[in-house]
Homo-oligomer: A and B are copies of this chain.
Amino acid sequence: MLVIVELASGVRRFRELQRAIDGISQRMLTLTARRLERDGLVNRTVYPTVPAQVTYELTDRGSSLTLLVKQLADWSREHKDSIGASRALYDLQNPDQQIR
């Protein structure tokens, strides 16, 4: 989801995506980018430089999803603290349940 939000601002190289998405591992970003490419949401372009340069950009299909994804990201940010509080309360009331 965060990859789509970042690419909504334009073309990005792999390193730029990695820096923009706090805490994402190289492996997870590689896997995520491939999945988005496989779903036809992102185009991956490899430039024949040495070393090879790779850029990512949203396809039309990817762009059509951007608004929804941004709204979801906003919703998540808005409700982050209250969800955190609900989780803490739930864990207190249900110490036996491991659904972290």
Q: Which A residues contact B (CB, under 8 angstroms)?
A: 31, 34-35, 37-40, 61, 64-65, 68, 71-72, 75, 79, 82-83, 85-87, 90-91, 94, 97, 99
Contacts and interface: CB of A to CB of B under 8 A. Distances in A.
Q: How many copies does the complex hold?
A: 2
Majority DSSP secondary structure for residues of A touching B = helix
Contacts of A35: 99
Nearest to A67: B71
Given A61-B82, A68-B72, A71-B68, A39 B99 contact: no
A36 to B, nearest CB: 10
B75 A65 contact: yes
A37 B38 CA distance: 33
A21 to B, nearest CB: 19
Nearest to A34: B99
A25 B24 CA distance: 31
